[in-house]
Amino acid sequence: MAPHLLSGETVVTTERQHLAVLVPVTLLAVICLGLPLVLIQLVPNQVSGTDVSGAKAIADAVVAVVVAAWYLLRILRWRFQTYTLTTHRIVLSHGVVSRVTESIALDRIQDTVVRRPLADRLIGAGSLEIQSAGRDGTEVLRLVPKPDRFYTQILQAIEDYRVIAYPGGAEQGERTAPPAPQASAGGV
């Protein structure tokens, strides 16, 4: 889902977590589906002279539906978690039923760090830590595919934004603050 854009704002790129985040979920789903189905099939069809094959089929179906619903929810959570870089901000969105959207203005970003432990490097992913003025702590974008490219795009977007917002200071290699608001002539 594309974020609501401000006037003059365009999307540079949208990323989501690396597909590898679904590997543990998939393994857990296979175990949670396979183990109960095997155990149910180990129950004999006749228990104390009563045919329980219908109950076994119902139990199989219930297990399959519950695990499939849980797995689908996890996939949807992955699908709807996005990191969108625009010409003015970074928009972080997540949630399936209840959506949460946060944004970090590019001119508020103070520091960005790319962390790529060995396991992440093997799959071509990494985490970006974004520290911005006026926020509590650091925002971490986990398991971003090709994090160096996304990091470079963020830095380029920040520089492009500075050129637009502060045209005189960007050419001279220095950042100038926007003009301070003027006091009214009426006083108070």
**Are 34 and 96 members of one domain?**
no
Question: Number of structural domains, the chain?
Answer: 2
**Are 110 and 148 members of one domain?**
yes
**Are 70 and 37 members of one domain?**
yes
For residue 2, the model assigns a pLDDT of: 64
Residues of the chain with pLDDT under 70: 1-3, 169-188
CATH, residue 134: 2.30.29.30
Q: Confirm whether 106 is domain-assigned.
A: yes
Write the DSSP assignment of 42-69 as a string of letters: HS-SEETTEE-HHHHHHHHHHHHHHHHH
**Are 60 and 106 members of one domain?**
no
**Are 70 and 92 members of one domain?**
no
Domain that holds residue 149: 11-17+82-171
Taking only Cα atoms into account, the Rg of the chain, rounded to an integer number of angstroms, comes to 26
**Model's pTM, two decimal places?**
0.76
**Are 70 and 116 members of one domain?**
no
- Report the distance separating Cα 68 and Cα 155, nearest Å: 41
**Are 162 and 86 members of one domain?**
yes
For residue 169, the model assigns a pLDDT of: 61
Q: Judging by beta carbons within 10 Å of its beta carbon (0-12, 13-18, 19+), is residue 89 exposed, middle or buried? A: buried
Q: Confirm whether 187 is domain-assigned.
A: no
For residue 186, the model assigns a pLDDT of: 47
**Are 87 and 56 members of one domain?**
no
**Are 116 and 50 members of one domain?**
no
